[in-house]
Amino acid sequence: MSADLPVSRRSAVPPFLVMDVVVEARRLEAAGRDIVHLEIGEPGGGPPALARQAAVRTLDGAGGDLGYAPAMGLPDLRRRIASHYQDWYGVTVDPARIAVTSGASGGFVLAFLAAFDAGARVVVTDPSYPCYRNVMAALGIEPVRITTGPADGFQPTPAELDAVPGRIDGLILQSPANPTGTMLDDTRLAALAEWARLRGVRLIVDEIYQGITYEVPSTTVLKVEPQAVVVNSFSKFWAMTGWRVGWLVLPENMVRPVERLAQNMFISTSTISQTAAKAAMDAEAELRPRVDHYRHNRDLLKSMLHAVGLQRIAPPDGAFYLWVDVRPTGLPATTLAGRLLHDAHVAVTPGVDFDPVEGEHWIRLSFAGPTERVAIGAERLAAALAPMLR
């Protein structure tokens, strides 16, 4: 077949730039450099012991039985996820409304396809997780980007949404958020949910960083809006990134559409990963202390940044990121990130991934890694940044 046959226009989505930083960092490591990784949001520590043991037990006991799971997920796991909402939030969720997906990422594709037709207009905030707008664009859904700022914790307000011109079909929110770490409390969630309900706008909330919060416990939009679509995953609090298990909580009228799409697109989520994920939900005693470890890392990096004079940081109330205004350095974020990687051997993410407009003023630091490495990173950053800020 000719190499010159065209590829689709819909595949021309931007790359996830943080992955380019990772590649360059790995190249430097291969050349013998010691690089501190503050660029990726990958929790250290690996899956909890209960999850690993469940996977081993499943393998030992399964014989040839590790076949396809039902498209909506193993019934045991769906029930366990439903009881998780009862345990953490006192919210009753029917297991029938839960779809197990290949990570939150698989959940986005299913939720967007089930909720929106091609041409739909869905509000996404800047800054936010870039895959929302890129996946939407690939699916023919128009992401309508609105700018948020420090005054409202980088989260939208109903007034800002009212100011968006034209029809709106959907709104995607996240709490705690990536890259800012900011959160929406029940009052703000309720106001945004009401805004969406009154205008017939489909509300989707990415709650993947639930459980990783430092100031107040996490909440769920389901407390204030049972009709919202919730996206979640075992990748962050449960530290199971590579196992690729996430879930959706769906309003009733989206259950069967998501099931049909999942049957056709994925058949099922990895069966062994689902058995491990179910066990992980009983591992809070092992996982909670990891949040204290993230908090320690956060405080360490934050005090370094304050000391060198980078004091404009989004309130990192949850997740494991600092969103830092680097304007005082006088350098665009991409140039600064390049220098920090090559000269200080610290990998950070330039903000353009998360905000194509304002992102050159911001970098994202991830503090999910081991404290020893974060501490070395902080020292190196302080040494590299201090001369720029004099």
Ligand X SMILES: Cc1ncc(COP(=O)(O)O)c(C=O)c1O
Q: Site residues (CB under 6 A) for ligand X?
A: 41, 103-105, 129, 174, 178, 206, 208, 233, 235, 241, 246
Residue 206 or 225: the one with the smaller Cβ distance to ligand X is 206
Residue 174 or 275: the one with the smaller Cβ distance to ligand X is 174
Whose CB is nearest to ligand X? 103
Inter-residue contact 203 to 193 (CB < 8 Å): yes
Tell me how far apart the alpha carbons of residues 135 and 187 are, in angstroms, rounded to a whole number.
Answer: 29
Residue 116 or 234: the one with the smaller Cβ distance to ligand X is 234
Work out how close the CB of 235 gets to ligand X at its nearest, in angstroms, rounded to a whole number: 4
Residue 178 or 273: the one with the smaller Cβ distance to ligand X is 178
Inter-residue contact 283 to 238 (CB < 8 Å): yes
Residue 92: C-alpha distances to residues 101, 204, 222, 282, 302 (Å): 21, 19, 9, 18, 38
Tell me how far apart the alpha carbons of residues 251 and 262 are, in angstroms, rounded to a whole number.
Answer: 16
Residue 58 or 269: the one with the smaller Cβ distance to ligand X is 269
Amino acid at 177: A
Work out how close the CB of 230 gets to ligand X at its nearest, in angstroms, rounded to a whole number: 12
Work out how close the CB of 326 gets to ligand X at its nearest, in angstroms, rounded to a whole number: 21
Residue from 141, 133, 43 nearest 353 by CA: 133
Work out how close the CB of 228 gets to ligand X at its nearest, in angstroms, rounded to a whole number: 16
Residue 236: C-alpha distances to residues 104, 122, 124, 328 (Å): 10, 25, 22, 32
Work out how close the CB of 178 gets to ligand X at its nearest, in angstroms, rounded to a whole number: 4
For residue 137, what are its two tokens?
């664009």
Work out how close the CB of 43 gets to ligand X at its nearest, in angstroms, rounded to a whole number: 10
Residue 107 or 377: the one with the smaller Cβ distance to ligand X is 107
Work out how close the CB of 84 gets to ligand X at its nearest, in angstroms, rounded to a whole number: 16
For residue 299, what are its two tokens?
């405080």
Work out how close the CB of 63 gets to ligand X at its nearest, in angstroms, rounded to a whole number: 30
Residue 129 or 323: the one with the smaller Cβ distance to ligand X is 129
Residue 156 or 345: the one with the smaller Cβ distance to ligand X is 156
Inter-residue contact 224 to 205 (CB < 8 Å): no
For residue 238, what are its two tokens?
């449960």
